[in-house]
Structure 1
Amino acid sequence: MHGFIGELVGTFILIVIGCGVGAGLNLKKTFSSGQKDWFYISFAWGVAVTMGVYVAGSLGSQGHLNPAVTIAFAVAGTFPHAQVGPYLAGQFLGAFLGAVVVIIQFWSHFKATTRPENNNVSIFATMPGINYGLFNFISELIATFVFILVLVNLGNFTTGLKPVVVGLVIFAIGAGLGTTTGFALNPARDWGPRLAYTLIPVPNKSGAGWWYSWVPMFGPICGGLLAVGLQAMVK
């Protein structure tokens, strides 16, 4: 239960901060609307991950917040298989609930934002700059490969300043590799908010883009498996 609760609350924090930034930048009549800056977005998601990892670690989990991390570590033999189910459940549920809170927080701004280019699923989930399925998949694979290769060499990344390092890695990947697909890196971070956007009658919303959802699901998982496979080969 500690793992489930830690992953749920930590992922919840991650999504509230990260998707909150997306909402504030895109919706009308917020104080940050129209001030789009990719470095700012990347940095905010990095801080969101840092805060989530700290909270999850304090509640007794390993601070994965990400099915790609949990699955990769389990395959590598550094995480117990019996804990995979509770961790994944906590991650997806936490991401869903975090998106619900963001929808409530920005409800009046969703009502004020009628243009679909500003009020769309990209506030919550990732979409490609150019829709090219194979290369979108490869983009997520590469970005997650880099992320998890760093994680497996950090040891317990919930302690000390290591969550800050994890956040900086997210920031660097977002700034350097994230501009093609929005750097999901994390199936729960994408699918949980996408589902919330689908189920809740968000004012003026457009489609949830489920046609693209296979990329942020399988790209990160494959990237994580590739990273732990390479790590096992070189150590």
Structure 2
Amino acid sequence: MTYELYYWPTIQGRGEFIRLALEEAGAAYVDVGRQKNGADKVAAALAAQATPSFAPPFLTAGALTIGQTANILLYLGARHGLAPRAEAGRLWVHQLQLTITDLVNEAHDTHHPVGVSLYYEDQKKEAKRRAADFIGNRIPKFLSYFEGVLQQPKRRGGFLVGSRLSYADLSMFQVMEGLRYAFPKAMKRLEPAYPGLVALHDHVAQRPNIAAYLASKRRIAFNEDGIFRHYPELDR
């Protein structure tokens, strides 16, 4: 089966978490938004769903259409060995992914703290205040949590869940990449406190399928239209 991923063609965004899982699994998929007239195809498919998603990303898998990043990864993880087989383990990975979703939402709100319909330039003063709190309080709170998960005795394999890579590890890699892009000064200062997460990031980057993907044209570069944006005035 060939999956169809529906997401916007010019940003990594929330779709990137799904792309990483598909690439690691070696799954056949079509990134519909990056085809000719892709954005129009995404919009048309969004309107035509029997069980409509609020917004992309969504994934078609045969007769199934699945929306929401964490929900899509829950499905892919069970099908492609990116989550434990036992129900308790699958729910734990899903819980970690939902916590990553919270972190990603807060990262987005550093540059759009007032409203997503406004331009960044319309809320720069508020963004500076929000970014300062995110760097000073929220990044350490989230990363300390995930570092603590990695350091639990039963998870000394270097992964967030047991001794095998899961989609939560892939998502944590993407978070570290995004934070480094958006806040390079702050992350250079903060990262030494999280050696487990740095090692996890480096391990994921070196996995054959992921390394090939990162070096390919399929990997969209970070930019100032996505979730993780680099505005020098917000990095401290």
After TM superposition, the score normalised by the length of structure 1 is: 0.32
- Greater relative contact order structure (CA < 8 Å, 6+ sep): 1
Q: Which has the larger radius of gyration?
A: 2
The structure where strand makes up a greater share of residues is: 2
Considering fraction of residues, name the structure with more helix: 1
